[in-house]
Chains A and B, each alone.
Chain A
Amino acid sequence: MNKRQIRKIVILGGGTAGWMTAAAVANRLPSQFYQIVLVESEQIGTVGVGESTIPHIRQFNETLGIDEAEFVRETNATFKLGIQFKHWGKSGESYIHPFGEVGELTNGIDFHHYWLKAKSLGLTDSLDQYSFLAQAALEQKFPEKAQLKGEKFSQYAYSYHIDATAYAGFLRKYAQNKGVTRIEGQVEQVCNSDKGDIESLVLQNGQRIYGDLFIDCSGFRALLIDDNLKVEFEDWTHWLPVNSAMVAQTELTEAVYPMTIATAHKAGWAWKIPLQHRMGNGFVYDNHFMSDDEAGHLFSQHLNTKPINEPRILRFKTGVRSKLWHQNCIAIGLSGGFLEPLESTSIYLIQLGIFKFLELFPHLEDMSAEQAEYNRIMQHSYQTIRDFIILHYHLNQKSDSEFWQRQQQMSLPESLQTRLAAFKESGRVELGQFGVWSAVCIGQNLIPKRYDARLDWLADSELMKFLSIQKQQIEGAKTKLPTAAEYIKNLMKQGR
């Protein structure tokens, strides 16, 4: 009971990571005991992309008690059921990676095995056609929970496209209402104790800010974890080589669709993310294979309309810190690691970092056990997502681009090799993997050599009947759905 306690937490950086951290920490730690300070400077811009999210963000908002309608209004959010990948396997092809398994486990056998057997019998339907969410997304519809109550598809996962800058602003209000102190200023100096812990930050105006624990949300600059504590960065660019992104906003010229679109081009890929009031766009590339000029030209073609703002270029390096928690400093967000936005995992990794930190919240005296646990879990999470993103690049069949051919031939991390071999040979996926492997692998034409042999016990006619019923059920449920735009309009109106 007499252990020394953390009383003051200092968060450096006020982008999405900073304000998500401040809001969640303030929500969890009583303000009469804990002082939370966030230091940011209006002089320093935030990356502000990361507009596409995965369903876990709903858990974050729910934990904070945020009302969905208010959140959607304040962040100009739209709804998302998955990601459409265009030209990733072969040029001209596309597939959807939906949130949640395609079809359902039947008699202990994953649905894609049923599809594989049917395909061997001549079925021409894509796997997508058996995903309720993919089919809804393609028709720009969004499931209304109340209408599907008690029906087969009533439980589904979804997330949002958001204006990340607006989200940070929204959470800033939330955090300040919970007692977080915001200090405007830029860090001039970081002071350490004899033990090597961070003791205080000195701002350019001379103000000194002491703290017991520091959270580095300073983005790519990584002022604390890198500049001060010199924690090594594990470089993964040999697996994920894209290193540049051009971003711009355009007006919304088409109906809101409930999915992110990721279109492969000759040295990377481009995204389109619809918000309520505008479209977010980005063009990701490897500048060893494409100059900025060429990227700018191709980006203009991709936009197909005049951008609202001047396109800006971001440079990045994929990888992760060898320790995300070192001494009394935790790196959350880009300061800790970066994985390109292909699977919309940036905000998820921030959220995971925050929740794990709060779960393992330490005493001040000795936090080594909590640090070891945090670093083990976070490293594992980064690696699992990394492998899943590499999978998308590796499974391409393009023959007209040096960039893509290099991805086909690259040596894979051992963890991915094993999983990929299992899927290739027998369509098996290890539990606990990130994402829907069957959707991505089959979507990119990696058709397993075998389906589950137990399906030979199912007569061909029974199998076809089973698949036909699945499709009918999807068709039936789909007709009841409002469009994604109508759904948002109703939500705003009803304030649910």
Chain B
Amino acid sequence: MSEAIKNITIIGNQTETWMTAILLFRALQGRCKITVIDNQEVSEPATFEVSAYFFEIHKRFGINLKPVSQPENSVLFAATQIISGQAADKSVWLSHDVALPQYKGIELPHITSFLNLPTENYSPSIYLAKHNKMLAPKQFNPVLGRYEPGGQINGEVYLNFLKEAAKFVGISSIHAAVTNVNFDSESGQVRQLVLSDGQTLDCQLVINTSYQTRQLLNQTQAFDKGTQNKAIQNTDTANKLAFSRCDQFIVENVAPAKHSKTIRRVGHSVLSQTQFLNKTVLSFYSNDDSGLNPDVQQYLQTHYPESNQVYQHMQMPLPAEPIWQANWLDFSSFRFTLSPYYPASTLLLRGVMRLLELFPGADFEVSNTQLFNQQYHLDITGFSEYQALFNYTVNLMFSDESSQLSEQNQHRLALFTSSGKVSHELNPMISRENWRNLLMCASQNQFGFDPVLQALDPKAMNQWLHQLIQKISHL
């Protein structure tokens, strides 16, 4: 019988590191000793994006985010505007609706598509965003469905909050870098970490969030892990990450917070823009390894000459190897600034939750590890596919038709275009509603409808829509 794990070592010194540490501590009720190897290697983003899942998980483990949720440290948004970037700007709105009103059991987008009306005019969340309003989901009139706002959080404040919490609960940290890793020659397990201060640390479960250490851990390539992870091949998803670089700029101002996010192409870069109570945050995503894209520089000079760069980060592609091997997991690719399109914090949180579902004993059962890798691979694939479809949408808005869609995304789009249906996903990380909202944009609001509508009275549908828009206007 396997013994319980007594200690967990987490390598890294960033928001992702400390969030993992705190969540594991709370979920394991403090039964495991958690040590953070604080190697001081990267800068932190000024802000990062979160979803409703982020708040839900913190709440589930009794972590009160009140200090982080103050208006000066966070902003919620109801929808995202995707702007063409051309001179005569046109845009589409990506809603955050998760349940939409139904007419005789048929969802709103089918009705608007059938009547050839713009769906976004009837979306409650888009209405809120356009009018710069914010309502807590609980305050929402249930007749109008339900929505889940997205959010941006001040990275520094959240990191300090986590570090304080870690100190308070007794998570220990060692200020040193990992210089070498000693593996067990048979199992490929990490036995010891050799640190820059000369210490040698014995390990049981190791979670890596550091780029530097990733190379050291991957020395285990030499071991035969074929039987352990034969079903997983992440190589296909590695290439699907859209961007290799993220640069953040801040413009100090006193403008009110804006409850929408905007996405636009700037040359070959993508700009994600959010506005806090007292500052505007501009996050540029690109594939320029040599430096800041000239288009971006020009854009900043023209529009935001007062901006200051606060963060620069080169993204690593997702590892070709499975995330969990032997007794270590490599989360180092999942920086919160991985994508302008979908909060990467959700992807990391999902990984931590899957680890808890399949929490190992001290002998690290191979089939358990394999199950984790299979399930998490589905999450990563879902994330990558969503990003790719979003990128396709942004490029379309920019009249760039060079994006190639994967077979799965082609199927999703074909089904939605044909009859407004959303492809079924098994235990998905990206919900059906999120896919539907994106597909509306990806199809440029030219999608199909349920044929049954042909049998219903269009006058009655129009009346229903009229009543709906009246209710929305009271939000």
Q: Which residues of A contact B (CB under 8 A)?
A: 1, 3, 5-6, 28-30, 32-34, 107-108, 120, 359-363, 366-370, 372-373, 376-377, 380, 418, 421-422, 424-426, 428, 430-432, 449-457
Q: A33-B455, A457-B31 are in contact. List 7 more A-B contacts (CB 8 A).
A: A120-B1, A369-B415, A373-B411, A421-B370, A422-B371, A426-B367, A426-B368
Given B4, B358, B451, B454, which contacts A428 in the complex, CB threshold below 8 Å?
Answer: B358
When distances are taken between beta carbons in the complex, the residues of chain B under 8 Å from A450 are 1-2, 361, 363, 365
Q: Report the separation of the CA atoms of residues A120 and B362 in the bound assembly, to the nearest whole angstrom.
A: 18
Q: Report the separation of the CA atoms of residues A153 and B5 in the bound assembly, to the nearest whole angstrom.
A: 34
CB pair B367 A418 closer than 8 Å: yes
Closest to A377 in B: B424
- B86: interface (CB < 8 Å): no
Give the number of chain B interface residues (Cβ < 8 Å). 46
CB pair B3 A361 closer than 8 Å: no
- B180: interface (CB < 8 Å): no
Q: Report the separation of the CA atoms of residues A457 and B368 in the bound assembly, to the nearest whole angstrom.
A: 20
Closest to B410 in A: A369
CB pair B427 A431 closer than 8 Å: yes
Given A120, A370, A430, which contacts B418 in the complex, CB threshold below 8 Å?
Answer: A370
When distances are taken between beta carbons in the complex, the residues of chain A under 8 Å from B31 are 454, 457
CB pair A422 B368 closer than 8 Å: yes
Q: Report the separation of the CA atoms of residues A207 and B304 in the bound assembly, to the nearest whole angstrom.
A: 77
Closest to B30 in A: A457
Closest to A359 in B: B421
Given A1, A361, A377, A451, which contacts B116 in the complex, CB threshold below 8 Å?
Answer: A1
3 interchain residue pairs of minimum CB distance: A453-B361, A33-B455, A456-B4
Q: Give the Cβ gap from B183 to chain A, nearest Cβ, in Å.
A: 22
CB pair A422 B370 closer than 8 Å: yes
CB pair B374 A418 closer than 8 Å: yes
When distances are taken between beta carbons in the complex, the residues of chain B under 8 Å from A432 are 426-427
- B169: interface (CB < 8 Å): no
Q: Report the separation of the CA atoms of residues A210 and B50 in the bound assembly, to the nearest whole angstrom.
A: 55
When distances are taken between beta carbons in the complex, the residues of chain A under 8 Å from B470 are none
Q: Report the separation of the CA atoms of residues A361 and B359 in the bound assembly, to the nearest whole angstrom.
A: 42
CB pair A30 B452 closer than 8 Å: yes
Q: Report the separation of the CA atoms of residues A372 and B370 in the bound assembly, to the nearest whole angstrom.
A: 29
Q: Give the Cβ gap from B164 to chain A, nearest Cβ, in Å.
A: 26
CB pair B362 A425 closer than 8 Å: no
When distances are taken between beta carbons in the complex, the residues of chain A under 8 Å from B427 are 431-432
CB pair A425 B451 closer than 8 Å: no
Q: Give the Cβ gap from A457 to chain B, nearest Cβ, in Å.
A: 5
Q: Give the Cβ gap from A129 to chain B, nearest Cβ, in Å.
A: 22
B89-133 to A contact mask, C-beta < 8 Å, 1/0: 000000000000000000000000010100000000000000000
B343-376 with Cβ < 8 A to chain A: 356-363, 365-368, 370-371, 374-375
Q: Which residues of B contact A (CB under 8 A)?
A: 1-5, 27-29, 31, 114, 116, 231, 356-363, 365-368, 370-371, 374-375, 411, 414-415, 417-419, 421, 423-424, 426-427, 448, 450-452, 454-456
When distances are taken between beta carbons in the complex, the residues of chain B under 8 Å from A5 are 451, 454
Q: Report the separation of the CA atoms of residues A483 and B204 in the bound assembly, to the nearest whole angstrom.
A: 53
When distances are taken between beta carbons in the complex, the residues of chain A under 8 Å from B371 are 418, 422, 428, 430
CB pair B451 A362 closer than 8 Å: yes
CB pair A451 B1 closer than 8 Å: yes
When distances are taken between beta carbons in the complex, the residues of chain B under 8 Å from A362 are 418-419, 451
Closest to B416 in A: A369
CB pair B415 A430 closer than 8 Å: no
CB pair A453 B3 closer than 8 Å: yes
Q: Report the separation of the CA atoms of residues A310 and B28 in the bound assembly, to the nearest whole angstrom.
A: 62
Closest to A423 in B: B367
Given A6, A369, A418, A424, which contacts B451 in the complex, CB threshold below 8 Å?
Answer: A6
Q: Report the separation of the CA atoms of residues A355 and B103 in the bound assembly, to the nearest whole angstrom.
A: 19
When distances are taken between beta carbons in the complex, the residues of chain B under 8 Å from A32 are 455
Closest to A366 in B: B418
Q: Interface centre among B360, B370, B424, by most A CB within 10 Å?
A: B424
When distances are taken between beta carbons in the complex, the residues of chain A under 8 Å from B356 are 108
CB pair A108 B365 closer than 8 Å: no
Q: Give the Cβ gap from B246 to chain A, nearest Cβ, in Å.
A: 33
Q: Report the separation of the CA atoms of residues A86 and B127 in the bound assembly, to the nearest whole angstrom.
A: 61
Q: Report the separation of the CA atoms of residues A29 and B27 in the bound assembly, to the nearest whole angstrom.
A: 49
CB pair A1 B455 closer than 8 Å: no
When distances are taken between beta carbons in the complex, the residues of chain A under 8 Å from B370 are 418, 421-422
Q: Report the separation of the CA atoms of residues A453 and B424 in the bound assembly, to the nearest whole angstrom.
A: 35
Q: Report the separation of the CA atoms of residues A1 and B27 in the bound assembly, to the nearest whole angstrom.
A: 53
A-B contact pairs, 10 of them (CB 8 A): A30-B455, A362-B451, A369-B415, A372-B414, A373-B424, A418-B370, A422-B367, A425-B365, A425-B367, A449-B365
Q: Interface centre among A1, A367, A430, by most B CB within 10 Å?
A: A1
Q: Interface centre among B370, B374, B411, B418, by most A CB within 10 Å?
A: B418
Q: Give the Cβ gap from A9 to chain B, nearest Cβ, in Å.
A: 12
When distances are taken between beta carbons in the complex, the residues of chain A under 8 Å from B418 are 362-363, 366-370
When distances are taken between beta carbons in the complex, the residues of chain B under 8 Å from A431 are 375, 427
CB pair B415 A370 closer than 8 Å: yes
Q: Interface centre among A5, A367, A422, by most B CB within 10 Å?
A: A422
Q: Report the separation of the CA atoms of residues A199 and B357 in the bound assembly, to the nearest whole angstrom.
A: 52
